[in-house]
Amino acid sequence: MSATRTGKLPKGLLIPSLIALLGVSLFGLGGAQASAAEAATDFPIPALSETSKTSPMPNVIVIATGGTIAGQVADGDPTNLQNYRAGTYKMEDMVAQLPRKDKIADVSTYQFGNKGSGGYLITELYDLSLAVDQALKTYDGVVVTTGTDTMEDIAYFLDLTVRSEKPVVVTGAMRPWDAIGTDAPANLYNAIKLAASGKTKSFGTVLMLNDVIQTARDVTKSNSHRMDTFESPILGALGYIDQDNISLYRANERALKAGRPEWGTPFDLTAISKDDLPLVEIAYAYQEADGGAIKGFVADGAKGIVTAGTGAGGISAKMGAARTEAIKQGVVFVTTTRTGSGTMYPGSTEGIIAGDSLNAQHARMLLLLSLAFSKDLPTIEQWFEEYGRQDISQEDIGVVSKLTDIEGHWANSSIKKGISRGIVSGYSDYSYKPDQNLTRAEFVVMLMKALKPAGTLAELSFADADQIGKWAELPVAQAVGAGIVNGYSDGTFDPSGPISRAEMTLMIAKAMKYELAKDAQPGFADDAAIPAWAKGAAKAVKDAGIMKGRSGGSFAPASYVSRAEAITAIVKLPVK
């Protein structure tokens, strides 16, 4: 068993731009990333016909991978509900048999593969995700058909990696296409109907079987034979389909970020190659479980291991000892529970990440992708917190509309943008306090939320490091690691001290990697008052349109920065 997946991949977009932004190899991809950016993958997705282009019906494509839904009963006996050959029928022929499909969508098909879901390699899922995104450039929605055995694994992989917000619906069947009482045609028809409706746009990837709509993150297969096998423990389904009625009764956290930069994840597959996909395994806990599985996984080259523990994630003493040794070798662990539901919360042990309410197979997919994009443990922890947890915040549900002190303020628009992007938030009394001075720590937190860096964290060695609040430690460490923040000559950071306009300007210029001219003349009325160390930055941010002078055309370098001024500058930064 090898430690990496094999293959090559296409041009880079999001991640390379972030690397250029911060001037460091944030994800440790090196040459592999460069080769991935140069390669190009083009799948034979059928082009829209001229009729489809002018038709008022939505254009939906079914990308087929096989599974029971495309299965053929054994011996031609339609009562063989469990004895059949999965992945036999072609999707083109299956769709042709669906009645009245012209009433819901113009439907095309693409046969990506035709085998059981458990037969697909991670590298093939990589290609599947890219194929889905390619299709969504022209189609209004995609249906992906798979086998149900590992459907939740495949769906969550797509949920984490597909870049488009257009509907992606995964479906399959518990009985083969030609069996008596099969659920296959109805599931396929309703999945097409759901994708065509657009109702799950921005929800990420969803599952639709047995008329029930579930999120890819929450869903799991709960029974080996029943047609209502898929459930979302504790959290419940999104909704269901009753003939022409599609009813959604809850929204996930991603849907609340629709149309915003933070809707996407860091896992843009066009930025890596298949060689970057690491080996990640799952170790199951039970009474007096030995540590042999963990040792074997490490010996095989596993870079990450998810433990499915008892109760609240507990594992045996032997498994614990093996885990400790593996962590010393750089293996990253995620703890989950084998109970089927329940939340794992962060602990204090280095090298172990809490899996929140993800089950083991979902946590494995998130860890695998995280390790493909970063080798930095705090970064991966942050990604599990932000993209794995999917906890709804006040910003997600529109707290911006409740703020009492921003209407009529000159920075009203910028403040709203900052809150909608998750960069800033209001206080518990529904105020923003736009004219309140900002501290150095507060500004760094704002800046890092906007940049979303993932570089190596620096050790906080400031003389007053113990005065940096827990809420600011990670952003400050990120900023120091990226060369954005330095301490004063006395070795302090002064986290609670107010930040001056000159200091803020320099931090922004460093973050943007602007060239700082030594003999710069910024062009403000008070150029002479701007310290030499800040003149290059002042000119750079002025030229970029990020900051302007105050009244009278002065820069006021020593003046303190207000919360309104800070967010106004930050929302102008050219970052996605």
CA distance 567 to 310: 46
Residue 568 annotated as lining a ligand binding site: no
pLDDT score, position 458:
86
pLDDT score, position 218:
96
pLDDT score, position 16:
36
Q: Which domains does the chain have, with CATH numbers?
A: 50-263 (3.40.50.1170), 278-386 (3.40.50.40), 411-571 (no CATH)
**Which amino acid, residue 41?**
T
pLDDT score, position 3:
45
Q: Is the separation of the CB atoms in 298 and 326 below 8 Å?
A: yes
Q: Which residue has the tokens 């990226």?
A: 482
The parts of the chain modelled with pLDDT lower than 70 are 1-40, 393-402, 454-455, 576
CA distance 404 to 396: 18
CA distance 383 to 564: 28
CA distance 265 to 165: 11
**Which amino acid, residue 391?**
D
Residue 343 annotated as lining a ligand binding site: no
Give the torsion through C-alpha atoms of 206, 339, 357, 237, to 10 deg. Answer: 30
> What is the pTM for the complete model shown?
0.68
Instruction: Using alpha carbons, list the distances in angstroms from residue 553 to 84, 523, 531, 542, 560.
Output: 78, 9, 17, 12, 17
**Helix (H, G, I), strand (E, B), or coil: what is residue 542?**
helix
Told to judge if 205 belongs to the known catalytic residues of this protein, a careful annotator would answer no
CA distance 122 to 145: 17
Burial class (CB in 10 A: 0-12, 13-18, 19+), 425: middle
pLDDT score, position 393:
65
Residue 138 annotated as lining a ligand binding site: no
Q: Among 68, 150, 265, 307, which one carries the catalytic annotation?
A: 68
pLDDT score, position 475:
92
CA within 13 Å, CB half, 452: 21
Give the torsion through C-alpha atoms of 122, 125, 127, 133, to 10 deg. Answer: -140
Give the torsion through C-alpha atoms of 91, 96, 98, 100, to 10 deg. Answer: 140
